[in-house]
Amino acid sequence: MKIFVTGGTGFIGSNFLNKVISEGHEVIALKRSKSSQPRVELVQEPIWITRQLDELLVEDFTGVDVIVHFAAHSMTPPYDTLENCIQWNVVAPISAFKKAIEAGVKKFIVAGSCFEYGLSGENYEFIPPDAPLVPTLTYAVSKASASMAFVQLALEKNIQLSIQRIFHVFGPGESDNRLWPSLKLAAQNGKDFPMTEGDQLRDFIHVDKVVQRFYELCCDKEIPFGSPLIENLGSGRSQSVLEFSQFWWNKWDATGKLLIGEMPYREGEVMRYVPAIVKPI
């Protein structure tokens, strides 16, 4: 199989590269600049294309069987403007997808985000994939807009499309300022860790399981043409941020203390993001 990966140097993207390269597939991966480096060490280099999404050419997709789209703009605070998020999370990938379709590509697997649901998260015990999208941040608004644009493209062009709305993924290669790596660093250095009260309910899923699901979808020949598959991707188990933090703090035998309640919640933070999962993984 010939697989084209966008966002190949990112957290999930670089872990995914290791999976598909190890499985023996031909892999082309996109990165924005020559200085961009994968978040984890690769078992082998893919064929790199160094270009922006909207600079890709039809011939870049020659012979490609499936596109796996991880590239995303402004995923963590402080978020970029709505205009820039729309440009890089909606307009640019649609431009690339249209060129891929012109080259004959029929299958697209897209990394969505749980944050597309936004305020809907607090209206459901378990958020279904067809819940209203009520995003509250510029990044989330652009991802929700992208989902709608990709669905329209799939219907118009009669292609295979799967959008996987990923919940709270963690693991090797994650940005240092996020919860799991920050927690790990403090634990390993014997430091205390200031945090919120930790009442936020989440579904935490390890990056390896996310990668496995994306790989399964690449191999899946049953995704219907012109009928997009939209799924939540999580562990199927809800857990508070405090429970998650305490589990890993104990697992790492941390000598410091969790300073619970030392940090305020983010302004407007949605306190419940728990997905309805068809097949827990």
73-123 pLDDT, tens digit per residue, is 999 889 999 999 999 999 999 999 999 999 999 999 999 999 999 999 999
Q: Are residues 250 and 127 in the same domain?
A: no
pLDDT for the residue 279? 66
Q: Is residue 275 assigned to a domain?
A: no
pLDDT digits over 20-78, tens only?
Answer: 999 999 999 999 988 899 999 999 999 999 999 999 999 999 999 999 999 999 998 89
Q: Is residue 276 assigned to a domain?
A: no
Q: Are residues 112 and 220 in the same domain?
A: yes
Can you give the residue range of the structural domain that contains 120?
A: 2-170+203-233
Q: Are residues 197 and 133 in the same domain?
A: no
Structure tokens belonging to residue 47: 């064929």
Q: Are residues 80 and 188 in the same domain?
A: no
Q: Is residue 51 assigned to a domain?
A: yes
Share of the chain above pLDDT 90, in %: 95
Q: Are residues 191 and 207 in the same domain?
A: no
Report the mean per-residue pLDDT for the chain: 96
pLDDT digits over 217-232, tens only?
Answer: 999 999 999 999 999 9
Model confidence at 203, pLDDT cuts 50, 70, 90, reads very high
Q: Is residue 271 assigned to a domain?
A: no
pLDDT for the residue 35? 87
Q: Are residues 246 and 144 in the same domain?
A: no
Q: Are residues 67 and 187 in the same domain?
A: no
Q: For 31, left (φ over 0), alpha (ψ -120 to 50), or beta?
A: beta
Q: Is residue 270 assigned to a domain?
A: no
pLDDT for the residue 267? 86
Q: Are residues 104 and 160 in the same domain?
A: yes
Q: Are residues 119 and 139 in the same domain?
A: yes
Distance, CA of 78 to CA of 236 (rounded, Å): 29
Q: For 261, left (φ over 0), alpha (ψ -120 to 50), or beta?
A: left
pTM value is 0.96
pLDDT digits over 253-278, tens only?
Answer: 999 999 999 999 998 899 999 999 97
Structure tokens belonging to residue 281: 């993984």
pLDDT for the residue 189? 98
Show Cβ contacts of residue 157 under 8 Å, excluding neighbours closer than 6 positions: 101
Contact at 8 Å (CB) between 66 and 105?
A: yes
Q: Are residues 40 and 133 in the same domain?
A: yes
Domain count, the chain: 2
Q: Are residues 126 and 194 in the same domain?
A: no
pLDDT for the residue 94? 98
Q: Is residue 96 assigned to a domain?
A: yes
Q: Is residue 266 assigned to a domain?
A: no
Q: Are residues 248 and 111 in the same domain?
A: no
